[in-house]
Amino acid sequence: MAEERTLALVKPDAAEHTRGFIENAKEYGFYIVGQKVVWFTPSDAGIFYLEHKTKSFYTTLCLHMASGPVTAMVLEHPLGETIKRWRMRIADTDPNNAADGTLRHRFGGGRKELHRNVVHGSANPKDAEREIALLFTGLELA
């Protein structure tokens, strides 16, 4: 059976650290089965984050996601539980609560605005499937 996959995004506020995210993912055993740079429009970001449409931060989040290049990666871990493993690597939504050594701590420490939390990881298998299908065609994935 194919291993579970997840979608990782390096957000625009962390574009200069993209190489660090890629190296960290590889170091922790993830295979990068798809990768590309995308530039969301605010409306693309709105579709991506549709579940947050009613939240006060929705517009700010969408404008932020459209403010620069985003590196999108589809990850797979040979030991399974890819979604949970990547969420553990990125850590808490608020970088200020993220544990030492996690990606949101390392690249997002000291951030005051929660939408600038440097990286995304799908929350569950249904979200992962939807998010991967939004950004990648089958031909773009190994």
Q: How far is CA 97 from the centre of its chain?
A: 18
Q: How far is the CB of 118 from ligand GDP (least distance, A)?
A: 9
Amino acid present at 98:
A
Q: Dig out the tokens for 124 from the structure.
A: 């569950």
**Shorter beta-carbon distance to ligand GDP: residue 56 or 137:** 56
Among 123, 133, 134, 141, binds ligand GDP (CB under 6 A): 123
Amino acid present at 112:
K
3-class state of residue 135 by DSSP: helix
Binding mask 78-117 vs ligand GDP (x if CB under 6 A, - otherwise)? ---------------x-------------------xxx-x
Q: How far is the CB of 90 from ligand GDP (least distance, A)?
A: 7
Ramachandran angles phi, psi of 33, nearest 5°: -95, -5
Q: How many other C-beta atoms can be found within 10 angstroms of the C-beta atom of residue 107?
A: 24
* Residue whose tokens read 């979608």: 7
| Helix (H) / strand (E) containing 37 | strand 31-38
Q: How far is the CB of 80 from ligand GDP (least distance, A)?
A: 20
Q: How many residues bind ligand GDP (CB under 6 A)?
A: 11
120 is catalytic: yes
> Which residues of the shown chain bind ligand GDP in the complex (CB under 6 A)?
52, 57, 60-61, 93, 113-115, 117, 120, 123
